[in-house]
Chains A and B, each alone.
Chain A
Amino acid sequence: MSPRRTETGGCIDRLRTIRFTFDGAPYTGHIGDTLASALLANGVTLFGRSFKYHRPRGLLAAGVEEPNALVTVLRGEVREPNIPATMVEIYDGLVAVSQNRTPSLTWDIGAINQLGGKILSAGFYYKTFMGPVFGPLKGTRFWMFCEHFIRRAAGLGKAGTAPDPARYERMNAFCDVLVVGSGPAGLMAAKAAADQGARVILADLEAHFGGSANWSGETIDGMPAVDWAQRMAAQLAGNDNVRLLPRTTVWGYYDGNTLAALERVTDHKEVAAKGEPRQRYWAIRAGTVVLATGSFERPLVFPDNDRPGVMLAHAAERYVNEYGVLPGQRVALFTNNDSAYRSAVALKEAGAAVVAIIDVRSDVTNEMRRLASDAEAELLAGHAVVATEGGKALTGLKVQRFDAMSGSLSGDERSIHADSLLMSGGWSPTIHLASQAGAKAEWDPARQAFLPPKPTQRWIGAGAFTGSFSTAEAIAEGRAAGLQAAGGTASSGPLPVVEAAPGDSDPAPVFEIRAKGKSFVDFQHDVTAEDVRLAHREGFVSVEHLKRYTTLGMATDQGKNSNVPGLAIMAEALGKPIPEVGTTRFRPPYTAVSIGSLAAERFGDLKPERLTPMHDWHIANGARMYSAGLWYRPMIYGLPGETVEQAYVREARATRDSAGIVDVSTLGKIAVQGPDAAEFLDRVYTNMFSTLAVGKARYGLMLREDGLAFDDGTTWRLGEQEFLMTTTTANAGKVMQHLEYFLDVIWPELKVTVTSVTDEWAGAAIGGPNARAILAACVTGTAVDNATLPFMGIVHGRIAGVPVMICRLSFSGEMAFEVYSGAGYGTRVWEALIEAGKPFGLVTYGLEALGTMRIEKGHVTGAEIDGRTTARDLHLDWMLSKKKPFIGSAMMDREGLIAPDRLELVGLIALDNRALNGGGHIVEELDEANPHDSLGHITACCYSPALGKYIALALVKGGKARHGTRAFVSDPLRNRFGPVEIVSSHFYDPDGSRMHG
């Protein structure tokens, strides 16, 4: 047994030894130990180096608020930095290392920063990283060189680079009552709510339920508080309507009483059980939340208060009572309130010598004097600690007379020999979650603390969280809160009886002892009281500015210890009372949250893949696919040795020479049905659909409400009250929502339903001079001649026995047909068409050839309908009906939308016979060094096999007026400059003789 381990007491199992390493050295501990308690038991006092000055630091706390003892835990290749050693449960094989030291914890070259204390004061980063603005080092590389080392020196642990192999889980939970914190208040609340039949979740960030009961040394209902807590937890565990979540930090309180929690499922285990995730992210929707989150003890601010061996009083009590570890042999206490006297007695009972209790108050009650004598401690009332001594461990301290009213010191310094100094600066309720939920905390002058705000969401507070620091109050408030949260009113008999040490936790309003030396406010970010005053002298008056300038409270502990002392020092500097200085709002997360837990199962490529019915056929037949939105579509069906350009040119040429076929299943398809379907389409499209005959299709254009072009496509009239609308692939979802919005919100009187049927139909477009002959060879049940199937006509028939719907329409500019069949038969119909096409040399073509043929025809797509263009810009004004209003009709003729200098659709031909690029600008005068005065830009480009030239579509100022003129492409990003001719966008077969046949 190590020298600091007590013979008995605590929640550890002395019979079971655990082996672990810290900074490479082997240590042992027991089940129930944290890394902090086990190392402390081994006599380790030095845990880390401070952030800025690399000062040696030991344990300040025993729980989640620990600012100094941050470690990195290694598991294989994975390193997790910045975990408080107080929150690491040891297990066999645990490997932990200290942080922020080079090369080792005990010998750290960064500690030289201490000598440059003046340089590294508040605002240091803002001031110095600008570099000297005058003097010999101005603008020299020397400062960049220094910056590299300063930045590396000022840091916390290093994140790893290895991929995290651990599994994380996300859970959604629902409950009537969520109890956060399992101290006496939380246990009572959970029990009371559970007894009412409510569904209860009880969460605590510690491994064991009980909170302060685990170390208070008090008696509840005649038994040690720790036993009472265990019995309560066991009773709760037996209830079907209670879920217990130990090791679970509730870290966020969001709208609608939704809370986020992180359960550390296997971090404390050597090996996870099968199927167990490392951590579990809980999204909890609670009817009512009981906040029983307790309180934090505050440090006092005095010179060298950060020396290893200086610790919070309750933390020492906790190490003794919960872990059986004495933090020191000769202990002194320094306090501004009564609670430290109980700690003194606990230390004494565990075997330490309590050499002195230094109390800033001169009037100490007789009860406290009695506790001091129980601890056999000398009581120095009206005194304060003005210095600590020692190197990497405390050896002694100096005290002086102190006047709590004026803050002045007097008399001679007296030295006291001690290896442990325990301090208590009063208590701050842990109001973080309530603050996150909304509303501002309120300052309570009696408790010298911020108390929780009035609830803006459905939560009820209980215990120390509300400022009721005694266990008896916590028990009463906890039960009342649990009852109220569960909607119960019945009193459930007498309350458990508490026997506790006397004392009033209300402190004297003393936060700082002003004497010579560095007095730390924020231990983790190395912010001193002098830094706060410096910030004030430099004009920072708002607490938010103070925080950012000094970085007070901005470390990973978020100022759990430092907020109130920092504010008090700021208030004193400003000469204002604390409530007028204000406090900052707490924001999630309460403690650090792993990114892995937030992602949980959702990592990697999360996009769903949409595949057409003929997808496998495309892959089997050599298609090179590319993704278009969520869809995968063939780009080319390349032959061995072909480039992409060679492939699409071959495919397009073969289509225009004989026939080609392309998969168009991705087009958006919406069934528009009902008595008012035609009327609805008249309102939605710019052109008329009520005049469309059954069995015919029409090309339609939609505008947005603001008059700009939205989407285009053909719509087929399948019956008097039934239409099949097609949309562009990219806009299918948007058009659907657009239609639903108007039917639901604007025109609910229209009897129309719209249904997305995109996935119900497989579509193949077959075009070219021989397309009709190929159809004739395989279609049964209908003729496909010009009389039966004229341009924009629709027929129903069969291919390979499968019912199909054929519409004669053309995107390629050839005589072309779209063949639709049920999606499940898509491949069968496709293969039958391919088979029928063999004698004609039918080619399959992909998106590249499709794009090439549409550019040759000057058809617009999303590249031109880009949210900025009007129908007129795209020369689609012929589609704007004057006989009826439609969506966008009132707004489309606004001044700016009909201005003569708008960009209009034109065609371009590269006069230097080189490829053009999308996005390249069009200019009148070429100036490669200083490109200027863009006339517009290229939207789509290709090599045109029909023209034998590189061509493009573009949006250019002046548009038609520039047809036949010369301009230049100016594309400095890709260094492409050269002459072009501006022409009509209808490059190929402008009168449409080929498609009309």
Chain B
Amino acid sequence: MLITCPYCGPRDVIEFTYQGDGNRERPQPASQDLDAWNAYVYDRLNPAGDHNEIWQHSGGCRAHLRVVRNTITHEILSTAFARGGHKAEGRS
């Protein structure tokens, strides 16, 4: 599996660390909505198909990336910096 880091280019998956489901929405820090916190910490979609994920380029520039990956074919559909900005197209 290759992930295209917007800084570093296409790199082997071995350089990356999976940092969880990219669909999680963190409630406002002061929120007391326990259901929302519970959903954020525990609820996962686990789809068979396209999936939003966070990967850290831990063996490279250490940036966190938003990656859309097909969980069946492992095809990377897109990658982008998690903090926003430049977006790199995945290899089809």
Residues of A at the B interface (CB closer than 8 Å) are 255-256, 258, 285, 438, 456, 683, 705-706, 737, 740-741, 744-746, 748, 885-886, 889-891, 894
Assess whether B64 is in contact with A744, with CB atoms less than 8 Å apart. yes
Chain A, Cβ-Cβ closest to B2: A256
- Chain A residues near B38: list those with CB within 8 A: 891
B9 on interface, CB distance cutoff 8 Å: no
Query: What would be 16 A-B contacts, judged by CB atoms less than 8 Å apart?
Result: A256-B1, A256-B76, A456-B73, A683-B29, A705-B40, A706-B41, A737-B56, A741-B19, A744-B64, A745-B64, A745-B83, A746-B26, A885-B30, A890-B32, A890-B37, A891-B41
A256 and B30 alpha carbons, distance in the complex (Å): 43
A740 and B41 alpha carbons, distance in the complex (Å): 18
A745 and B80 alpha carbons, distance in the complex (Å): 12
Interface centre among A706, A745, A746 (most CB of B within 10 A): A745
Interface string of B72-87 (1 = CB under 8 A from A): 0111100001111000
Assess whether B58 is in contact with A737, with CB atoms less than 8 Å apart. yes
Extra 10 A-B pairs, beta carbons < 8 Å, given A741-B54, A744-B82, A745-B54: A255-B74, A256-B1, A256-B2, A256-B91, A258-B1, A258-B2, A741-B64, A745-B64, A745-B83, A891-B37
Assess whether A748 is in contact with B19, with CB atoms less than 8 Å apart. no
Chain A, Cβ-Cβ closest to B65: A744
B46 on interface, CB distance cutoff 8 Å: no
- Contact for B74 among A256, A885, A890, CB less than 8 A: A256
Using A256-B1, A737-B56, A885-B29 as known contacts, say yes or no to A744 and B63 having CB atoms under 8 A apart.
yes
Q: Smallest Cβ distance from B36 to chain A, in angstroms?
A: 9
- Chain B residues near A456: list those with CB within 8 A: 73
B34 on interface, CB distance cutoff 8 Å: yes
A456 and B40 alpha carbons, distance in the complex (Å): 35
Q: Smallest Cβ distance from A775 to chain B, in angstroms?
A: 38
Q: Smallest Cβ distance from A256 to chain B, in angstroms?
A: 5
Assess whether A737 is in contact with B91, with CB atoms less than 8 Å apart. no
- Contact for A744 among B1, B31, B74, B83, CB less than 8 A: B83
A596 and B38 alpha carbons, distance in the complex (Å): 47
Interface centre among A438, A890, A894 (most CB of B within 10 A): A890
Assess whether B17 is in contact with A737, with CB atoms less than 8 Å apart. yes
- Chain A residues near B44: list those with CB within 8 A: none
Interface centre among B17, B38, B83 (most CB of A within 10 A): B83
- Chain A residues near B64: list those with CB within 8 A: 740-741, 744-745
Using A256-B91, A745-B83, A746-B26 as known contacts, say yes or no to A890 and B56 having CB atoms under 8 A apart.
no
Chain A, Cβ-Cβ closest to B28: A885
- Chain B residues near A256: list those with CB within 8 A: 1-2, 74, 76, 91
B27 on interface, CB distance cutoff 8 Å: yes
- Chain B residues near A741: list those with CB within 8 A: 19, 54, 56, 64
Chain B, Cβ-Cβ closest to A438: B73
Query: Which residues of B from 17 to 57 have beta carbons under 8 Å from A?
Result: 17, 19, 26-27, 29-32, 34, 37-38, 40-41, 54, 56
- Chain B residues near A890: list those with CB within 8 A: 27, 31-32, 34, 37
A154 and B56 alpha carbons, distance in the complex (Å): 50
Chain B, Cβ-Cβ closest to A887: B29
- Chain A residues near B58: list those with CB within 8 A: 737
Using A748-B84, A885-B30 as known contacts, say yes or no to A255 and B56 having CB atoms under 8 A apart.
no
Assess whether A740 is in contact with B37, with CB atoms less than 8 Å apart. no
Assess whether A705 is in contact with B73, with CB atoms less than 8 Å apart. no
A737 and B81 alpha carbons, distance in the complex (Å): 16
Chain B, Cβ-Cβ closest to A704: B41
A740 and B17 alpha carbons, distance in the complex (Å): 12
- Contact for B41 among A255, A683, A705, A885, CB less than 8 A: A705
Q: Smallest Cβ distance from A242 to chain B, in angstroms?
A: 24
Chain B, Cβ-Cβ closest to A706: B41
- Chain A residues near B27: list those with CB within 8 A: 890
Using A885-B29, A890-B31, A894-B34 as known contacts, say yes or no to A745 and B41 having CB atoms under 8 A apart.
no
Q: Smallest Cβ distance from B52 to chain A, in angstroms?
A: 12
- Chain B residues near A891: list those with CB within 8 A: 34, 37-38, 41
Q: Smallest Cβ distance from B1 to chain A, in angstroms?
A: 5
Q: Smallest Cβ distance from A994 to chain B, in angstroms?
A: 39
A706 and B58 alpha carbons, distance in the complex (Å): 24
Chain A, Cβ-Cβ closest to B74: A255
A125 and B89 alpha carbons, distance in the complex (Å): 53
Q: Smallest Cβ distance from A507 to chain B, in angstroms?
A: 35
- Chain B residues near A683: list those with CB within 8 A: 29
Q: Smallest Cβ distance from A630 to chain B, in angstroms?
A: 16
- Chain A residues near B26: list those with CB within 8 A: 746
Q: Smallest Cβ distance from B26 to chain A, in angstroms?
A: 6
Q: Smallest Cβ distance from B18 to chain A, in angstroms?
A: 11
A530 and B16 alpha carbons, distance in the complex (Å): 52
Q: Smallest Cβ distance from A702 to chain B, in angstroms?
A: 15
A456 and B73 alpha carbons, distance in the complex (Å): 8
Interface centre among B19, B62, B64, B84 (most CB of A within 10 A): B64
Interface centre among B29, B58, B74, B76 (most CB of A within 10 A): B29
Q: Smallest Cβ distance from B59 to chain A, in angstroms?
A: 12
Chain B, Cβ-Cβ closest to A740: B62
Chain A, Cβ-Cβ closest to B33: A890
Q: Smallest Cβ distance from B37 to chain A, in angstroms?
A: 5
A285 and B27 alpha carbons, distance in the complex (Å): 42
Chain A, Cβ-Cβ closest to B32: A890
- Chain A residues near B83: list those with CB within 8 A: 744-745, 748
A829 and B37 alpha carbons, distance in the complex (Å): 49
Chain B, Cβ-Cβ closest to A746: B26
Would you list the 4 A-B pairs with minimal beta carbon distance, nearest first? A748-B83, A744-B64, A255-B74, A885-B29
A456 and B75 alpha carbons, distance in the complex (Å): 10
Chain A, Cβ-Cβ closest to B19: A741
A890 and B33 alpha carbons, distance in the complex (Å): 8
- Chain A residues near B73: list those with CB within 8 A: 255, 438, 456
- Chain A residues near B30: list those with CB within 8 A: 885
Interface centre among A258, A683, A886 (most CB of B within 10 A): A258
Interface centre among B37, B54, B74 (most CB of A within 10 A): B37
A746 and B76 alpha carbons, distance in the complex (Å): 23
A745 and B22 alpha carbons, distance in the complex (Å): 9
Chain A, Cβ-Cβ closest to B85: A748
A932 and B33 alpha carbons, distance in the complex (Å): 40
Using A438-B73, A737-B56, A737-B58 as known contacts, say yes or no to A745 and B34 having CB atoms under 8 A apart.
no
Chain B, Cβ-Cβ closest to A742: B26
Chain A, Cβ-Cβ closest to B37: A890
Q: Smallest Cβ distance from A706 to chain B, in angstroms?
A: 5
A889 and B30 alpha carbons, distance in the complex (Å): 9
Q: Smallest Cβ distance from B73 to chain A, in angstroms?
A: 7
- Chain A residues near B2: list those with CB within 8 A: 256, 258, 285
A890 and B39 alpha carbons, distance in the complex (Å): 13
Chain B, Cβ-Cβ closest to A705: B41
Q: Smallest Cβ distance from A475 to chain B, in angstroms?
A: 30
Q: Smallest Cβ distance from B80 to chain A, in angstroms?
A: 12
A746 and B82 alpha carbons, distance in the complex (Å): 9
Q: Smallest Cβ distance from B42 to chain A, in angstroms?
A: 8
- Chain B residues near A745: list those with CB within 8 A: 19, 54, 64, 82-83
- Chain B residues near A740: list those with CB within 8 A: 56, 62, 64
A894 and B83 alpha carbons, distance in the complex (Å): 31
Chain A, Cβ-Cβ closest to B27: A890
- Chain B residues near A737: list those with CB within 8 A: 17, 19, 56, 58
Q: Smallest Cβ distance from A440 to chain B, in angstroms?
A: 14
- Chain B residues near A886: list those with CB within 8 A: 29
- Chain A residues near B76: list those with CB within 8 A: 256
Q: Smallest Cβ distance from B38 to chain A, in angstroms?
A: 8
- Chain A residues near B91: list those with CB within 8 A: 256
- Chain A residues near B17: list those with CB within 8 A: 737
A889 and B83 alpha carbons, distance in the complex (Å): 24
A894 and B37 alpha carbons, distance in the complex (Å): 11
Chain B, Cβ-Cβ closest to A744: B64
Chain A, Cβ-Cβ closest to B62: A740
A553 and B34 alpha carbons, distance in the complex (Å): 55
- Contact for A255 among B1, B40, B62, CB less than 8 A: B1
A438 and B32 alpha carbons, distance in the complex (Å): 47
